[in-house]
Structure 1
Amino acid sequence: MTVLETSSAALSLRLFGPMQIRMAGHPAPAPHSRKSLWLLALLLLRHGRPVERDWLAEMLWPDADAAQAATNLRPVLSGLRRALGSERSRLQSPNPHTLCFELSGVDVDLIAFDAAISDGGAEALTRAVALYQGPLLESCAEEWVGQERESRKRDCLKALRTLAETALAAGDPATATRHYRHAVELDPWGDGTRRGLMEALTQNGDTNAALQVYRDFTQLLRNDPGAAPDQQTSALYRRLRAEADKTTHAPVRPLPGAEREPAVNGRLPHALTDLIGREDERMEVAMRLRQSRLTTLTGPGGIGKTRLAAAVANEAAREYADGVWLVALEALSDGSQVAAQIAGVLGLKEEPERPLLQSLTERLRAQRLLLVLDNCEHVLESCAQIAEGLLQECADLRILTTSREPLRITGETDWTVPSLTTPSLSHLPPGRATLLRMLMGYESVQLFVERAQGVQKGFQLTQGNALPVAQICARLEGSPLAIELAAAWVRALTVDQIATRLDNHLNLLTDGGPTPPRQQTLRATLDWSYDLLSDTERVLLRRLSVFAGGWSLEAAERVCAGASIAPSQIVDLLDSLVNKSLVTFKSHEAEAQEAPGRYRFLEMTRQYARERLAANDELDAVRSRHRDHFLELAEGAYAQWRRVDEAKWRRRLEAERDNLRAALDWSAEDKRGAQDGLRLAGALFPSWSAWNEYREGRMFLQRALIQPDAQAPTAARARALFGEAILAQRQGDDTAARSQFEQSLSIFRELGDTMQIASTLGSLGDVTHRQGDHDAARALYEEAQTLYQSTVGDFQNAENNDRNCAGLSHLGLLAFNRGDYVSASELGEQSLDLHRTLGDREGCAIELNNLGNVAWILGDHALARTRLEESIDLFRMMGDQRILFPLNNLGRLMCDRGDRASARACYEESLILCQEWGDKATSAESLEEIATTLLAQNEAAKAVRLLGASQSVRDSIGALLPSDKQEERDRQIEQSRQALGDTAFDAAWDKGRALTWEQAIAYALGDAEIDAIFTQESRAK
């Protein structure tokens, strides 16, 4: 996509992507109200023509009456004039009833885009595509923008297709490919753009990339059970596949004078069972083999390297006049035997006083032959030397090898064999018939079913066993050997029983069938790989098994270094284990400074390494180092929480959730780990709250708190009690929260920690206030206020600014909670001024939200709106998840004022962000608020569905409806029952509860398909 240079115009307006106003090349101050931006956009969309004020007001406030909408327009118009500054005169009123925007000399990307599209010439369309820098008014959620946005997107797609088709007609497939790729980015679900890209790539000579476009398309559609490429796209894929297969089977270089196909000869053992799937892999490897004289298939044991190599060799046999020869090396014990093994397969006898490699070279020098060297990893050096020597001397020789690691010689192509495709358990469709069709599209499921039928003739994938089969394939991570061994157990166990016994892969997955001895069990396969490692590699492999869900290089250096391994050795040893296919590595380039990449095991390899670690009496020591490392990480994150780089710490802890759980589990098992477990659990309570894992967090905290060695009144115990109280609050369990706060407070008093005493008093006061014990709450607030005032000191002392900010903020909150809103406002304003003096954007954003709520209660709605919008803007600039609080508060304010359209826009933005961040608790609140607006519009059925969906979300995370909102909920339910009747109400409620979290959000945001389903059901009734 072309990047546009900054315009030199006095006024530059950008509507594609986030809306921008630039004056003399610099960003203009943002208007206080987003409505001012949308007003300007509506005027620009009319290309400077006069627009009726009544129409503008109706567009901006569709749910308000005409008089109220006209009243609302005036301050928004004033705000826009202020934002335009010296250019305000362009905002004109030709008569009292109309507005227009004077465009002479103004650079507006939308105007230029529309003009270029209208022109239709190649140069003009190229300009239009360059101007389209993102969806029109990307951050706008107003109802009117949808049609305008979709129209411009269609125009850009049409321009791209026209440019691409013109390039193809001119014999320029490279340019066509570029345009079609851009079109696919804009419309990834469009069959037409995918077909165009496939055709362009094919004409550009890259059929494999064209086929990959289709594979990527099917992967994209996989999460939607009802979606699939259309017939034309599928037909194109089949045609290209067929053409590629013909190319694969054609001779790489025709033999001079050859008038018939060469005879197929050689030695290629026939497989006893069919190879399931792997069509794309076979074609890919065949293409690599034509491009490179040495191709090595790498991957862990049991991934199917030998089967894939044999299949590729069999299909390529016609290309080689002198045959395809597979040489099995797994039985060799010495690298010196490799040449003899190759010679034996080729029928070449050793000659006295003549090196065998020389005889092999002379035999193969004039032959066109494919040599498959299978299982090279234990004789790797010898295989590398022989392959390099033969390839240098034999021009028509090609070699295909299989190995846990590449040969590492010049010209080698290393191709990693992937796992079989497996279903994602989190994206299975609810319909059982659809589930069966979907599952049989996965190679791992196909393999399981076919192998199960081999031991139990009548075995079928049914509605009853589909889910456990999916679980088996997912747990075994698409490993063909593991799936075949699991399927063999259907002769003795049900599929459910197999699935439940997979916690120990290695003991379950055994078989005495006709496979090589080293592959009769997964344990034997892993023994084979383990025995090939150096002593230090074995030590590291064992120690890495303490990690759960992966690890970073830093973590490996901290946890695994020790006796026999120095920290400086870890990176090279890890690289070696990756090369040997025992560890995988995934780079995170976008977050390179924070997380340069993560390593992980296949689960079966981790279990094996854990057994080896225990057998070497290292398990307890390494698990303790693991716990110590993640305790340090968690406490570091806790110290920075809500201060700096919060998003970075959240991502780091999110990536380590499995490791943190493992560290907590070890703390509970370790007799000396009670205090460490208490510290770790207490440091993690903000994370559990952010993850909406209230039940899990309380479980870990309660387990840590009941340990016999964790009963001393320490700061760690006080913090853990405080954390459990916070999570209990999130669940609506105020009784438990009050008890835990009281215990925490008692310990903080004993320790004499004034700030923690004051903070806990405030939190305890909040719970007590919600329970209706107002006198007790007031006493708690007053004591907290006294402590804060004694701690804060001189508000004017710059040396105490940080502490003063915290104290003022808490004092303001305490005043708010006890109903002293005037004092809350005064304290909040002082705190805000101090935050601004310090340049603390985060503190300003928090205080502005609080002040917005105070102004609302005091009846100053205009100030409340300004404060909340300022808070939203600051949080948005920081990318801070706490933007959800002022967004929902502003929505409630707008709803209270009767501006349901603005309220709805706030709630919808909140839902979008909740989905992005995984915040289910706040999304439940937003769903409930949208339901409130719908009830006010007499849309009771949809409101009830959203309330049911919200309740389902709350149930899934253990978050009860706050007690102070229960009365309003009861009133809404009663109102809805009266409007719908009991039967219709119950049906709507159940329909809402049946929605997934993602579906509920989509429905609330106006998903047409879900809405249509409910509409059709209503009409049918």
Structure 2
Amino acid sequence: MLGDVAVHVDGQRLDIGHARQRCVLVALLVDVNHPIAVDHLVDHVWSDHPPHHARNSLAGYVSRLRNLFSDTRGVALARESGGYVLQTDAMSVDLHRFRHVVRQARGCQDPLQAADLFERALGIWRGEPFPALDTPWINSLRSTLLGERLSVVLDRNDVALRVGRHSEVLVELTAAHAAHPLDERLAGQLMLAQYRSGRQADALDTYRQMRQRLADELGVDPGASLDQVHQQILSGDEQSPGRAPTPHLVVPDRPHSALLRRTTSFVGHTHEVARVIESMAEGPLVTLTGVGGVGKTRLALEVARREQDRFSDGVAICELAPLEHGAAVSHTIATALHLQQQQGLGIEESVIEYLRAREVLLVADNCEHVVEAVAQLLARIIQHCPKVAVLTTSRQPLAIDGERIVVVPPLTVDDATRLFADRARAGRPDFHLQDQPEGAVAEICRLVDCLPLAVELAAARMRMMSSTDVIRRLDTLGVLRGGARGSLPRQQSMSAAIDWSYQLLTQAEQALFLRLSVFAGSFDLDAAHGVCGSDGDVAEDTLDLLAGLVDKSMVVVRSVTGRTRYGILETLRAFGREHLREAGLTDTYAARHATYYTELAERAATGLHDSQEQDWVERMMPDYDNLRAAFERAMADTDTDLALRLVAALPELLGLRIGYEMAEWAERLITVTRPEHPLFATAVGVAARGAWAHGDYAHARSLAELAQRQVPGPGTARVAYPADVLADVTFFEGDSQWALDYWEGEVTRARADADPIRLVWTLYEVAICSGALGKPDYGLPAAQEAVTLADSTGNPTARSMAYFSLGYLLKRSEPVRATALFDQAAELAAAVQNFWHSGTALMSAAATRAVHGDPIEAARMFIEVLDHWDRVGDWFEQGAALRYITRLLLRLGADDDAAFLHCAFIKAGMPSPLRDEQLETLVDRLGANRFEAHRVSVSDSAAMVARARSSLHRFVTPPA
């Protein structure tokens, strides 16, 4: 691999096939002995534009490779864990042999032996990796490997200089410095080699040129390490350091962005703020570590608030504390980015592709309980997303390359005293520090080791007692000695501070607090009572207890807009869960939690089909973490019935709004559910719909066929019918007539079932299929009936679908009316956070305006459309938007941009968005030579979207 990819068996080079097959082999060799998911292999080979037959083609490549290795002892290519794995001795692959020798060299204590090992590692290379292959993944891998080689060269140089081999590396250093003229570490190595070879004047000249180059190109001075090398050369120091400086990042000014709002003042940790900002300038990942309650989260958010203007694409705050398992990390980060899984990609790949060209500060909070999953994803992000900076908080380092660790200490006594006074005054406005006995508040802070959370808990007690009483109570409870034997004193103090607040609760408040720890995120009063209320209590009793917990700072109010929600700080939640477990009550209340949220989801599923849809959406969306925890609990208890009920209730709530994570849950359930189970067909439908939404039509078809013609019962979610998925797959594969016949049959069944929501859905589909067949008049009665029926239900999603279907059929004959219908459909869907329907309606409204209305207004709307599908992660719809935009740009006279997009579609193997006469007009206006120049331009999906967005902005942004 470290050269042209080749396979040799017994000295004979094998024919490993064409470029795509070689690309598959490279992917298998990079992760030798580890399974690679089929989706990842498809992405590696075809990137953003896999053909519909990609999986079949991939299977063919693997089959030919398997046959190639069939007679080779010790090599096997097998199907495993939803993917493929190449099993062989890793040391038979030059890449892994290279990395193995490098690890030996870097761990070697003998510099002479290390130098020889580095030379041996570099000798494994035969040239640039796989120069004949060209895909985005291959190109990224090639850049990564060349970066690894350069890093090894630099380490080899350090050791060579240390053992006196300066003359051996001087020529190579000179060439490397010319190739990397801004690399300060390389410049320092060259200066040392020149100086030790008796060329002091050349060494000083190298420094002068480097200093000038840094000033001219980056506007910075040389770093401290390079300056140190320079000074030691000037002083004639023979013991010049063998390690030259590493480069530092220079970040240009960024446009202003909105500040992250503080809800309370930030006190102390001034030095740590500066250290974190400095560390962020030195590397892509900074982790804040420290004991629970020391203020890691608050410090991270303060740094993000101060540094956000450096990041043109903003700051994403990702709260990981609610997660029960590492499997949900990628979904949670995607949610923080307002991103849905992209078609043809896994959720992790979707996150990486989304961030690849963006300048974002990603803050991942509370990583310690899912540290392996976080480390795996963030390692890929910092490797493949060069403009992304990552700031994490964790009680332990992530232990990945590039990580810089900042240990967050407790506050100083002075800062802790200021914090205490600030928080005490918030609860008791007449509190003044000068009115307290001398040194009392400082003593309280010292007794809790100046940990911010403990200080705030203690300050909250000032509403009910004096500072002297607080000190007395701390001493009585043995705060400094109350932790587990052998734990750190700070941990003992934190535990004791929380325990002290817990002991001040009434017995009923204590019981409720421990039970509330089962929630995976925030919760409302109904949930608190339903999961944690005692027998015989009414909701008002729970509210009284909850108010006491809020007043005593054990529970916080998360939201008071619309429906009040409550939460528990993570350190307090951990304390509660530990005590609940000691009391033997964890299983009881976790099961109650799972049952409550399943029953709530079932009520919501009914409400989503009537006029109360918006109320149910606003109520349920904040409970995503609790719904996930409920499913995982049901699965852990092997309560398949409960898990099936939850999945059957969720697809419309989450699938059309957040994404189809529950499709993964459904696939897990299918493997453990009997086909005759009443909800089996629904689970199959949810899983199949998720595969369809991600563009994996073959997998969607194979899943849907598992239902064996079973039909879910009346009232089932609109998106959960397996046969519907088969019809949609057939429609998108081009057989609109078959789909129309199917949907007309479903209209008849929906009438017989007297299911109005199902009837609106099926009428909508009849209208869409009719329009696709070029028969709008045929579908018009269905669309008109759908509008009448949907209006009678008052259901916003049903109304949005019906208005859209009528607009779809009228867009050519009555474009003004159609535009109004699309606008209404988009507004209705957006009000209930139905992102798929709002996106398609918005796109259709823009497209109709582009042809029949104001093209500038259409351009403005299409920018919104591009942003929408970018967040949702739907490349199919994004591609449709780009086709409309190409025609609009031609109308606006943006001929070069229209030609670029046209050629990009052709190069991707897709039809041109332009009709023949439009294409002739474009070529005539540009001229043949200028038009042909666009055929060789870079045109992947990201480039297409960027070009379209840039062109549209020129028309909607007034000149300065």
Q: TM-score range by the shorter chain?
A: 0.3 to 0.5
TM-score (ref. length: structure 2): 0.46
The structure having more radius of gyration, on CA atoms, is 1
TM-score by length of 1: 0.43
